[in-house]
Amino acid sequence: MFKLKVHKSRFGAVLAATRNSTTTTTHGNHYQYLQNSKLPTLYFQRSLPRLPIPLLEKSCERFLAAVQPILSAEEHRETQQVVEQFRQGVGMELHAKLKQRDAANKHTSYISEPWFDMYLTDRAPLPLNYNPLLVMRGDPRPEYQPQLTRATNLIISSLRFWRSLQANILEPEVYHMNPKKTDTASYRRWMAIAPKAFATYASYAFKAFPLDMSQYSRLLGTTRIPKLGKDELVQSPHSKHILVMRRGNMYAMNVLDSSGYILSPSVILGRLKSILEQDSQREPASVPLGVLTTAQRNDWAQTRAHFISNPKNADLLQREVDAALFCLCLDSVEDGLFDEANPVPMLKHQLAGKATNRWFDKSLSLLISADGVTAVNFEHSWGDGVAVLRYFNEVYKDMLQQPFVSAGTPHTPADGDTINVRPLNFEIDEKTRAAVEAAYAQNASIVESLDMNYLQYKQLNKGTCKRHGLSPDSIIQLAFQLAYRQAFKRYVGTYESCSTSAFRHGRTETMRPCTMATKAFCEALLQPAQRQPSAGELRAMIDKCSSVHGQLTKEAAMGQGFDRHLFALRHTAQLEGLPQPALFETEAYKRINYNIISTSTLGTDTVVAGSFGPVVKDGLGVGYSIQNDFAGAIVTSYKNQAQGKEFIDSLESAFDQICAIIERSNSAAKTEMSK
């Protein structure tokens, strides 16, 4: 999970030739666009099915099943009574109103608006609470790894992605069940002649599933603006510049010309180089304004309102910071270097850190350390992992296949060019200075209280799972349940995110990995040795856990979970001014939504580490993946609130036990067959 080396086979042969300003026709399509899809980017958008609202009865059943492992028998009986009253009473009324509202808004999904509101009304600081971190795999070629080189190539590839999206020639996002058969020119030819109103359903015949792309337009050029009570998202999709931060100093740098074309690699390289040179002649920012984006949202809203009461500050902030396409954070040596043997300091720094060189309100920030280690930190309200991961993969692949500059590429000097490279010199008064100091102290205290632990477990990997017919995600989630149970002697609310992007304006659904099947397995395994089931029986229980997990995942992906439905019903009651239904006051509802174990994974080899903060103070934030050579997990927790180290140690033990069961059951099966 932490190796920054590249496995070249993932993307095939890397092109040897480096493109630079002397070999690139900068206004040619080859340079200006990442892709030139035969199918328009939004070709399937119109025909995507709408996110279904589950049957009320089914959501009630699924809720009761999900809470059963974390309740006593008496608590579950009491919850059943409340749920039945809800189902026959106010739940029916709220469900009818939700369906009525959904029918009147066929352009979107029933969850989209309330989910945006949920994010934008929460007053918690963005770092640790919302903004996730994705660390990018390194470049295997030393000449492309230096910070300046990597930053230039990242900028160009990002702009190529963005311009392709805006020109509607980025490949549509499609999940191919069998890419070798359907991710082909033949598939695209068939889709091109399908009526647009039915294109998605035509694609289903090929077992290729188009995904919603409505979030992509906010990937770049978007900023979350703090407001009292509820923030707002502001878009500037046609901006020509990016925001560059270095040691807390802020610069606006033009990367597109007046006609919207990407500038030549040598020009972009020269402008970045001039920022580094300028900054070396300056002191670090004495009042690093980016720290304000770590504050509680109402505090930041009040500080911002005061700050922009100065017309110069208002102009600079809105024109240069809010409107920037994205934020590029160039960290210095003082911010630390990546140590593969101990990645925690760098990961903590990139996840939240001192925040003196960050602007967490931007939809997307590229973080590049002094040694070229690259990460993405993104604001979460505008969208989910599907859009970010597509961007992440495409940009990485582009940099591998056709980097436009190397360590030896000549640059176009930009010394003294204050039109295209603009230092942002704000007027800072004592009230703003005090607000920055307070925000810095508060963030530093929170980050200091954050504990981070990690595990690489090499005995379990993609190959192991394939050989033994195991579901990788199910096995890891089962290990989480076993680890928590044996370390802390209980079962708790567990969250796994599942995308519903197969539907128009789908967001996410919650998959609940703590099930009666996982509980039965854990209890059986933790019995004294003489009462423990055989390896074959335990393996059968693992298969049962996998089957249940797979079914729940399928239901969630198809919009047939219960969490979002109940959330929407609760939101409907609020909109209608109705009293809070008793269901939402039950211990069961509170407990299932108090996610002690919050988990997330992104299945791609381009991400070498992913991390986020716990969602509750005494909880665990678990970023995990299973790769070709190991299973990995990064666990965050707050000191004196949760025991992340104990969980990680227990997780290693859980992996050991599960792998031992699999090996023993296989050996027993072979012995039986040989008789």
Per-residue burial over 359-389, b = 16 or more CB atoms within 10 Å of its CB, e = otherwise: bbbbbbbbbbbbbbbbbbbbbbbbbbbbbbb
464 and 362 within one domain: no
- Say if 91 falls within a structural domain: yes
**pLDDT-based confidence at residue 302 (cuts at 50, 70, 90):** very high
Task: Say if CB 588 and CB 509 are below 8 A apart.
Answer: no
Question: What are the catalytic residues?
Answer: 380
521 and 387 within one domain: no
**pLDDT-based confidence at residue 23 (cuts at 50, 70, 90):** very low
Give residue 218's pLDDT.
97
> In the beta sheet, which residues pair with residue 624?
601, 633
Q: Answer yes or no: is pLDDT of 4 > 70.
A: no
- Say if 497 falls within a structural domain: yes
348 and 396 within one domain: yes
Q: Which two tokens stand for residue 93?
A: 């009324």
Starting at the edge strand found earlier in the chain, the sheet holding 607-611 runs: 421-423, 249-254, 241-246, 327-330, 364-368, 374-378, 133-136, 607-611
Q: Answer yes or no: is pLDDT of 347 > 50.
A: yes
For residue 91, the 8-state DSSP code is H
Q: Answer yes or no: is pLDDT of 35 > 70.
A: yes
Q: Answer yes or no: is pLDDT of 11 > 50.
A: no
**C-alpha angle with apex 6: 3 to 9, nearest 5 degrees?**
135
- Say if 431 falls within a structural domain: yes
Give residue 636's pLDDT.
98
Convert the pLDDT of each residue in 43-64 to its tens digit.
Answer: 999 999 999 999 999 999 999 9
Q: Residue 103 belongs to a domain with what CATH number?
A: 3.30.559.10
Mean predicted confidence (pLDDT) in 612-636: 95
Convert the pLDDT of each residue in 242-287 to its tens digit.
Answer: 999 999 999 999 999 999 999 999 999 999 999 999 999 999 999 9
Residue 257: CA count within 13 A, CB half-sphere: 10
Which residue range forms the structural domain that includes residue 551? 56-118+452-674
Give the span between the Cα atoms of 271 and 282, in whole angstroms.
17
Give residue 667's pLDDT.
80
Q: Residue 328 belongs to a domain with what CATH number?
A: 3.30.559.70
470 and 439 within one domain: no
441 and 537 within one domain: no
Give residue 669's pLDDT.
72
Please tell me the total count of domains within the chain: 2
Backbone phi and psi for residue 233, each to the nearest 5 degrees, phi listed first? -100, 130
Convert the pLDDT of each residue in 168-200 to its tens digit.
Answer: 999 999 999 999 999 999 999 999 999 999 999
Give residue 20's pLDDT.
40
HEC per residue, 318-386: HHHHHCCCCEEEECCHHHCCCCCCCCHHHHHHHHCCCCCCCCCCECEEEEECCCCCEEEEECCCCCCHH
Q: Answer yes or no: is pLDDT of 576 > 80.
A: yes
Using the 3D structure, point to which of 409, 427, 449 is the last residue of a domain: 449
Convert the pLDDT of each residue in 642-655 to its tens digit.
Answer: 999 999 999 999 99
Give residue 216's pLDDT.
97
**C-alpha angle with apex 601: 561 to 649, nearest 5 degrees?**
110
| pTM reported for the whole predicted model | 0.93
Convert the pLDDT of each residue in 453-491 to its tens digit.
Answer: 999 999 999 999 999 999 999 999 999 999 999 999 999
